[in-house]
Amino acid sequence: MKETVTQNDLRLQRGVKARQAILRAAEHIFADKGLEGARTDEIARRAGVNKALLYYYFKSKNDLFQAVVEETLEESHRRIMAALSAQEPETDILLHYLEALFEALAQRPKYLPLIHRLVLTDPRLIERLMKRYFLPRTRKLAAVIRRGVRKGEFRPVDSVQTAISLGTLAISYFSWGSALKTFLHFDPFHPKNLEKRKEEVINFVRYGLFKNPEAR
């Protein structure tokens, strides 16, 4: 039986697209200007919607800011937690975690500037988000590292410190992207350079942490 698309379906689709357009526009503007510097009329204009529609979905600029942060974190969190929860050898889990983290950062270049803005804007919100997203991720990664050490796949290391170091390896590249472009005169976010950086990070981890780095 052929399904028909109703006017309700079309309105719903348009509503979802409009909300996503507002979130994407707000992500860029909040990351560049912060909560105080951002203007809702500029966000609405960039999203291609009127200001009244923006306030229909988000009751205030603060609500929109929080929604942008949550949506950005939720997307990367699902991907990273799926990699850490896979049923495979700990060496593979670790490499897939690095790939997932690196690709999440590469696909959302405003992710880190947005988090930096958040730290300066609302300490209570960042504390809540840390508990919801970053702490579970760090604990799960530390558990993977402990299992790998017990099984003899990894060198003896402090699991929590190593989990922090692994995240920093990927994050620092994106945090320093603009400085790298200025002082080293190359585009750090060009696809070829991103791929090269990911390979270098993975190799660094393999030879620094794995007991048998040549094994696949």
65 and 138 assigned to the same domain:
yes
Alpha-carbon gap, residue 76 to 108, rounded angstroms:
9
What is the phi/psi pair of residue 154, to 5°?
A: -115, 155
In a domain, residue 191? The reply is yes
> What pLDDT was estimated at residue 159?
96
The residue assigned the tokens 């929109």 is 64
**CA distances (Å), origin 206, targets 3, 30, 125, 145, 211:** 51, 37, 36, 13, 8
pLDDT band at 3 (very low <50, low <70, confident <90, very high): very low
Is the domain of 134 the same as that of 192?
yes
Give the residue numbers spanning the domain of 45. Answer: 1-58
Please say which residue of 41, 58, 75 terminates a domain: 58
Domain membership of residue 214 (yes or no) is no
Number of folded domains in the chain?
Answer: 2
216 domain residue, yes or no = no
**For residue 42, what pLDDT band results from cuts at 50, 70 and 90?**
very high
Are 144 and 165 part of one and the same domain?
yes
Q: Is residue 215 part of a domain?
A: no
Are 46 and 67 within one domain? no
What's the CA gap between 16 and 18, in Å, rounded? Answer: 5
- Report yes or no on 33 lying in a domain: yes
CB 82 within 8 Å of CB 88: no
Domain match, 5 and 97 both: no
pLDDT of residue 157: 96
User: For 201, how many CA atoms within 13 A lie in the half-sphere containing its CB?
Assistant: 26
User: 43 and 65 share a domain?
Assistant: no
Is 30 part of a structural domain of the chain? yes
- Average of per-residue pLDDT values in the chain: 86
* pTM confidence score: 0.79
Q: What is the pLDDT of residue 10?
A: 39
pLDDT of residue 11: 58
80 shares a domain with 32: no
**Residue 202 pLDDT exceeds 80:** yes
Which backbone phi and psi does 176 adopt, to 5 degrees?
-100, 15
Domain CATH code at residue 169: 1.10.357.10
41's tokens: 């009329």
* Whether residues 65 and 48 fall in one domain: no
Same domain, 76 and 35: no
- pLDDT tier, 149 (very low <50, low <70, confident <90, very high otherwise): very high
Residue where a domain terminates, one of 58, 90, 105: 58
